[in-house]
Amino acid sequence: MRFITGLIWLFSVAVSAEPLLVEKQHFTLDSFTTESGQVIAPVNIGWEAYGKLNADKSNVILITHYFSGSSHAAGKYQQDDATAGYWDAIIGPGKAINTNKFYVISSDTLVNANVFDKNVITTGPATTNPATGKPYGLAFPVVTIGDFVEVQKALLDSLGINKLYAVIGPSMGSFQAIEWAVRYPERVQRLVPVIGGAFMDAYGAVKLERWAYPIKTDPAWHNGDYYDKGQPIQGLTTALAYITQDAVHPMGFNQRYPSPVNDKNAMQDIRASLSAWEQLMQHAKVRATYQDANHILYLVRASQLWRAGMADNWQQAVAGIKAKTLFLPASGDLLLPPAFSQHSADAMKKAGNTPQYAEIPGNWGHLDGLVNIQSVAPLIETFLNQP
Amino acid sequence: MRFITGLIWLFSVAVSAEPLLVEKQHFTLDSFTTESGQVIAPVNIGWEAYGKLNADKSNVILITHYFSGSSHAAGKYQQDDATAGYWDAIIGPGKAINTNKFYVISSDTLVNANVFDKNVITTGPATTNPATGKPYGLAFPVVTIGDFVEVQKALLDSLGINKLYAVIGPSMGSFQAIEWAVRYPERVQRLVPVIGGAFMDAYGAVKLERWAYPIKTDPAWHNGDYYDKGQPIQGLTTALAYITQDAVHPMGFNQRYPSPVNDKNAMQDIRASLSAWEQLMQHAKVRATYQDANHILYLVRASQLWRAGMADNWQQAVAGIKAKTLFLPASGDLLLPPAFSQHSADAMKKAGNTPQYAEIPGNWGHLDGLVNIQSVAPLIETFLNQP
């Protein structure tokens, strides 16, 4: 669970007396053909579930994870884990996503960032290519949000689940949730895209490219072929620092990091670093120990290519969504601002759907979709309890 | 004027039939001691002026330029110049800053970005250190917004000007304008900080550090000592691309740059670039031909260290401002959002000042302070005509 510590290091997570205990499970797909036409064989991913599957398998809620996240959406692996899954505030017995009622399932995506976290199972550039016995590196095919969805579908098929009461996910998880509702409109009854939307724009895609840049320009990257030499740690750490800043609103950031006023060296030496930068990099360094630089590049690319339906017209794609939908952007989000949700909802409305819309308040911007999700718990609960 | 083309390449600037013709002038200060306690000898800077100085020298308006700007605030050097100075929409005969009435003066700062533009005169790492006969490189001292102001003051002193009817500047120019009003409250009668404020915060300082990063990590940077080898062109170009993106709101950016939907290669090859990124870099490359990488680092540092009064308490510093003040942030600004102006105005109000405040509308974010300044021209005119 180090990735949780890494991501929400800013917050002390309220821990209930009786944590939901969860277990990581392993799913293998012998062969998978990507959207780009390449074959990955086999695909391994991790998954976990909370609550009980009912007899007719009609109570399933799928949670799709964000860029830096994993399948650990709720609960703890052990009683004494320091933190619980990222949405533990809303997933559990009696909570908004009530595990007394629903069977909640979540899986690690392909190219998951936290590939070296012992609680994450994924397949990507850092995992072994059976053809060579070595890590794939950049021989791993480009994968898309659509591919993430297809792997999840294979997992659900293997469990005999062919209807989803709801799909809910934050950020890159909202992309997957929307893609589920687009590809399988008959299977998805409810859709809750949190801090996200149905497309990526040029501005966002370039911002993502800026996360990739420090990795690609780190001499230790070696064009992605570094697995016998050690990670491009400077590039990876810098990328993770950028990700943190871009996910946080200045209000929160300035609460957490020191003003440059006290950086006395900075006025004497142009090479001197600011303490805010140093601290941000130190926090990122912790996450860099269990994340992989190439995986970040692949997640960047999947996010850059994102548009509902993965074809030329995302508006047309979302027109086919049949799910009842609730968009939940965060008011202060500068990474995937509310406009993404609004444009997505507008396109659905044009097609006759009636998506609901509400904003998550807070000082943390994009990150409010994780750390302040409790504030919209009643909305989610009401939405899920509507027939 | 290439820097103007570079910065507002997005826009066709309306050209009046009879452009104001201006001439670059040269000011030399034999020796200057920086805030960091170093001596620069001599300092050379360029300046230009529009309108006529009246007999008692009481009609002077100082325009302080932005990060990527220069003293060319208005007019043309030659009738057939493709574009005019950056605020030509509001500076000129009969315009909001009426040169029939005011003597408008503007100077290049120290470490001006456009050091290789023939119309810019500045002193910085890329200019010759008389002690060695070679460019200063990183031996050039760190300079501050306070230093920019002191050099301007020396210029004005040399012209016998000791009162400013107004100081007006956008972005980093707003920092200088505020510092003028803080250091010389008796000299500055009116103050118009446009798209800026009285301090830099941790969030902004780290964002600025991200502009420096591609330069510092470019192997061709050679720790700032590249003048006999050629610029770190990749790092500089990347920095300039980031600056452009950060100065533009997504609405404007997405109008100008292509969506990733058509980037077919990007799905086949993880190394393939996005066309939006390529175009942004191509635009930046043009500017890189007349800007200097080290100068960007020094401007970044000056901006990171900015706080009114350059001491520990900017609120106390602005409490001493006597100038009538009008803050003009841009509504969609993501680089120096309206909150900077609001906090600055609040601190002045606490001290009994009564700053005015209005927002510049538009789709271009921070850049609206340049390209959409016409929209607040009547406000500026009214403000300047108040007794």
Q: Is B175 on the interface with A (CB under 8 A)?
A: no
pLDDT at res. A7: 45
Q: ipTM of this predicted complex?
A: 0.94
DSSP B22: -
Q: Which CATH class is domain B2-198+308-385?
A: alpha beta
Q: Is B255 on the interface with A (CB under 8 A)?
A: no
In Å, how far is B373's CA from the nearest CA of chain A? 23
pLDDT at res. B11: 45
Look at A202 and B257 and tell me if their CB atoms are within 8 Å.
Answer: yes
Q: Is A263 on the interface with B (CB under 8 A)?
A: yes
Q: Which of residues 79-138 of A touch B (CB under 8 A)?
A: 138
User: What are the C-alpha distances in Å from A248 to residues A206, A333, A335?
Assistant: 18, 8, 8
Helix, strand, coil abundance in chain A, percent, nearest 5: 40, 15, 45
Name the pLDDT band for A107 (thresholds 50, 70, 90).
very high
Residues A207-224: tens digit of each pLDDT = 999 999 999 999 999 999
Please, are residues B348 and B323 in contact by the beta-carbon 8 Å criterion? Answer: no
Give the number of other Cβ atoms within 10 Å of residue A13's Cβ.
Answer: 15
Residues B194-210: tens digit of each pLDDT = 999 999 999 999 999 99
Chain B residues touching residue A267 (CB < 8 angstroms): 35-36, 142, 144, 305
Angle CA(B186)–CA(A262)–CA(B327) in degrees, nearest 5? 40
In DSSP notation, A320-355 reads: T--SEEEEB-BTT-SSS-HHHHHHHHHHHHHTT---
Average pLDDT over residues A65-84: 97
User: What are the C-alpha distances in Å from A387 to residues A6, A328, A384?
Assistant: 38, 20, 8
Q: Is B254 on the interface with A (CB under 8 A)?
A: yes
pLDDT at res. B364: 98
Looking only at the bridges linking them, the beta strands covering B166-170 and B103-107 are: unpaired
In Å, how far is B326's CA from the nearest CA of chain A? 24
- Is residue A231 over pLDDT 60? yes
Look at A260 and B217 and tell me if their CB atoms are within 8 Å.
Answer: no
pLDDT at res. B77: 97
Look at A270 and B312 and tell me if their CB atoms are within 8 Å.
Answer: no
d(CA B89, CA A2): 55
Look at A144 and B304 and tell me if their CB atoms are within 8 Å.
Answer: no
Name the pLDDT band for A17 (thresholds 50, 70, 90).
low
Look at A12 and B284; give whichever has higher pLDDT: B284
Q: Is A280 on the interface with B (CB under 8 A)?
A: yes
Interface probe for B, chosen from A264, A270, A298 (most Cβ of B below 10 Å), is A270
Chain A residues touching residue B273 (CB < 8 angstroms): 209
In Å, how far is A277's CA from the nearest CA of chain B? 6
- Is residue A1 over pLDDT 50? no
For residue A301, give both structure tokens: 């690319």
Q: Residue for token digits 């401007």?
A: B299
Residues B34-74: tens digit of each pLDDT = 999 999 999 999 999 999 999 999 999 999 999 999 999 99
Looking only at the bridges linking them, the beta strands covering A134-135 and A128-129 are: antiparallel
Q: Is B238 on the interface with A (CB under 8 A)?
A: yes
User: What are the C-alpha distances in Å from B282 to residues A176, A378, B257, B300?
Assistant: 33, 49, 12, 22
Question: Between chain A and chain B, how many beta carbons pairs sit less than 8 Å apart?
Answer: 153
Q: Is B214 on the interface with A (CB under 8 A)?
A: yes
Q: Is A297 on the interface with B (CB under 8 A)?
A: yes
Query: Which of A142, A245, A334 lies nearest to residue B270, judging by beta carbons?
Result: A142
Single out the residue of A236, A235, A246 nearest to residue A207, CA to CA. Answer: A246
In Å, how far is A257's CA from the nearest CA of chain B? 6
Residues B207-250: tens digit of each pLDDT = 999 999 999 999 999 999 999 999 999 999 999 999 999 999 99
Q: Which of residues 6-35 of B touch A (CB under 8 A)?
A: 35
pLDDT at res. A19: 72
Q: What topology does CATH give the domain A2-200+308-385?
A: Rossmann fold (3.40.50)
Residues of B taking part in catalysis: 333
Q: Which residues contact A118 (CB under 8 A, 6 or more apart)?
A: none
Chain A residues touching residue B213 (CB < 8 angstroms): 214, 238
Amino acid at A182: V
- What mean pLDDT, rounded, does chain A reach? 95
Chain B residues touching residue A293 (CB < 8 angstroms): none
Pick out chain B residues at pLDDT < 50.
1-16
Look at B270 and A297 and tell me if their CB atoms are within 8 Å.
Answer: yes
Look at A206 and B257 and tell me if their CB atoms are within 8 Å.
Answer: yes
